[in-house]
Amino acid sequence: MESIWSKSASMPEFPSLEGDARTDILIIGGGIAGVLCAFLLERAGADYLLVEARELCAGVTANTTAKVTAQHGVLYQKLLSSLGAGKTRLYFDANQKAVEEYRSLCREAGCEFEDQTAYVYAQDHREKLEREQAAYRAIRVGTFLQSSSPLPFPVAGSLSLERQGQFHPLRFLAWAAQGLNARCHTKVRAFVPGGVVTDRGTVTANKIILATHFPILNKHGMYALKMYQHRSYVLALRGAKRFSGMYVSQDDAGLSFRTYQDLLLLGGGGHRTGKPGGGWEELRALARRWYPEAEEVAHWAAQDCMTLDGGAYVGQYSPRTPDLFVTTGFNKWGMTTALAGAHILRDLTAGRPNPYAAAFDPARPMPARAAAGNAASAAADLLPLTAPRCPHLGCALRYNPQEDTWDCPCHGSRFGRDGALLDGPATDDLQNPPRRDEEGGEGGNMS
């Protein structure tokens, strides 16, 4: 299981940290969010250090579908009700500015940026699309709602946003990572006053940015309460009918379509991490129906941090931690929100205001009903007196037969058959990996 991006690009290598270090700004996490923070700090002449437990962009970032767009499904009707028109427009502008900046940076980097129109579609009912168009209208953004599409099934409508794009994410990030002050294979083991302890030395820092996908520090910010993770799947098909545009369903469990060279990238089969879902088999059944002549050339899975109101969290980690910052909760739209977030954090760590920061504030109120539901779901997954348990906060792990992994339904940590950590927020391997006969049925009969 390897994405087409990983197969066709390689990131620059960086040594591990050897001994103690001192820096003004420490970035923890070397995915797209951490790399872009380091990239902007490098260009600003700041004193920074990035540490990554594995290799740069080897995790979630390598498994994106790489749509570069400010159209994030049907997000803006949600933000309009919770943030108001002013902050919702700021959120849109920050992401659209990121689209334009990628277009410019790709010219500088010599890597391709392909202009595309983004569409969010509805198969049955278009009322949600009409509300989304009204939300765009409220923040003075032009869109067009139409009834036709090139998709292999009828749609009730599709809402377009022009001047968006798509690219090869790892080729761009390989260019952006050149010359950064980064140390790989350097895992953060503990937070201490004024810095962190890694497995290779202590790093003293005035400010710290957590860019670890799901935040790994549980003491502050309540991120375990106000986020969860969602797993989705991708097939790369050769021989499917090509079309222009990038398409995503208005529903979280719906399908995604985009092209890359002669390939169609079909995404879907999603589910909350640790819960049942259709996975690749669902996508393969659809591909056989719609594209019977197509050949599957690659398949992979993505994992996304989902917030309760749909907006990313970028800024001060919590009101009580003035020198600790976070960038997380991209809700499947990490290409633009990672770059928008990097600009916000570049300014905040320098003590400068950022015009978009208020729209991304991690301390904004959570939707009460959604928070209660997320807490109840996590509590239910704490109750089974079964093993194995997630080392993060002790939830009962569930076996994922499609990927042969043990997944946490509370916060999305994942472990291989041998107990090796695959995805956080857990930071350690399983001490006692489960036996094959412990997996049981849907969620694992782990007695």
* Per-residue model confidence as pLDDT tens digits over 257-300: 999 999 999 999 998 888 888 899 999 999 999 999 999 999 99
Tell me, yes or no, whether 194 and 215 share the same domain: yes
Q: Could you give the percent of the chain with pLDDT greater than 90?
A: 74
**Domain hosting residue 410, numbered range:** 368-438
Alpha-carbon separation of residue 212 from 23, 34, 221, 334, 410 (angstroms): 19, 8, 15, 13, 17
Mark whether 356 and 391 lie in a shared domain.
Answer: no
Q: What is the pLDDT of residue 64?
A: 94
Alpha-carbon distance values, 149 to 11, 65, 221, 285 (Å): 37, 20, 42, 21
User: Whose structure tokens read 């990035």?
Assistant: 50
**pLDDT of 440:** 38
Question: Which tokens in the block code for residue 136?
Answer: 């765009």
pLDDT confidence of residue 385: 65
Q: Which of 184-193, 220-229, 423-432 has the highest mean pLDDT?
A: 184-193
Residues 434 and 318 in one domain: no
Q: What is the mean pLDDT of residues 419-424?
A: 84
Residue 437: pLDDT above 60?
no
Q: What is the rounded average pLDDT of the residues 209-229?
A: 91
* pLDDT band at residue 171 using 50, 70 and 90 as cut-offs: very high
Asked whether residue 91 is domain-assigned, the answer is no
Looking at the structure, tell me whether residues 14 and 54 fall in a common domain: yes
Same domain? For 336 and 385 the reply is no
Tokens of 224: 């375990």
Are residue 314 and residue 433 in the same domain, yes or no? no
Residues 220 and 339 in one domain: yes
Do 337 and 375 lie in a common domain? no
Helices (H), 261-367: 279-290, 334-349
Sorting pLDDT into bands at 50, 70 and 90, what band is 203?
very high
Q: So what's the pLDDT on residue 323? A: 97
Q: Is the pLDDT reported for residue 433 higher than 90?
A: no
Q: Are residues 317 and 211 in the same domain?
A: yes
Residues making up the chain, counted from first to last: 447
Nearest to 398 by CA among 428, 429, 441: 441
Provide the pLDDT for residue 383.
66
- The burial of 248, by beta-carbon neighbours within 10 Å (0-12 exposed, 13-18 middle, 19 or more buried), is given as buried
Distance of CA 306 to the CA centre of its chain: 8
Q: Judge whether 406 and 398 are in contact, CB under 8 Å.
A: yes
130 domain residue, yes or no: no
Give the chain's mean pLDDT: 91
Average pLDDT over residues 209-228: 91
For 314, the enclosing helix (H) or strand (E) is: strand 313-316
Mean pLDDT of the region 3-25? 96
Residue 221 belongs to domain with CATH number: 3.50.50.60
In a domain, 115, yes or no: no
Q: Which of 388, 385, 410 is nearest to 399 (CA)?
A: 388
Give 414's pLDDT tier (boundaries 50, 70, 90): confident
Q: What is the pLDDT of residue 273?
A: 87
State residue 405's pLDDT score: 86
Q: At what angle do helices 75-109 and 169-177 cross, to 10 degrees?
A: 60
- Give the end of a domain, one of 360, 394, 427: 360
Alpha helices per DSSP H over 205-330: 223-226, 279-290
Alpha helices in 110-167 (DSSP H): 127-138
Least confident of 391-395, 403-407, 422-426: 391-395
Ranked by mean pLDDT, the top range of 94-103, 223-232, 239-248 is 94-103
Q: What local confidence, expressed as pLDDT, does residue 407 receive?
A: 86
Distances (CA, A) of 113 to 95, 196, 264: 16, 38, 17
* Predicted local confidence at residue 384, as pLDDT: 65
SS3 121: strand
Q: Is the pLDDT of residue 319 over 50?
A: yes
Res 447: pLDDT: 22
Say if 255 falls within a structural domain.
no
Q: Report, as an integer, the average pLDDT of 176-198.
A: 96
Query: Do 304 and 43 touch, CB atoms closer than 8 A?
Result: no
DSSP for residue 391: T
Name the domain count of the chain: 2
The secondary element (H helix, E strand) that includes residue 82 is: helix 75-109
What is the pTM (predicted TM-score) of this model?
0.92
220 pLDDT above the threshold of 50: yes
d(CA 228, CA 390): 15
* Confidence at residue 201, expressed as pLDDT on a 0 to 100 scale: 94
Percent of the chain with pLDDT over 70: 94
| 323 falls within a domain | yes
| End residue of a domain, out of 325, 360, 395 | 360
In a domain, 270, yes or no: no
pLDDT value, residue 106: 97
The pLDDT value recorded for residue 379 is 67
Question: Is 9 inside any structural domain?
Answer: yes
Same domain, 375 and 429: yes
Residue 285 belongs to some domain of the structure: no
Given this model, what pLDDT does residue 443 score? 40
Residue 80 has pLDDT above 90, yes or no: yes
- pLDDT, average across residues 431-441: 59
On the CB side of 46, how many CA atoms lie within 13 Å of its CA? Answer: 27
List the CATH number of the domain containing 401. Answer: 2.102.10.10
Considering only residues 249 and 433, tell me which one the structure prediction assigns the higher pLDDT: 249
Instruction: Write out pLDDT tens, residues 115-169.
Output: 999 999 999 999 999 999 999 999 999 999 999 899 999 999 999 999 999 999 9
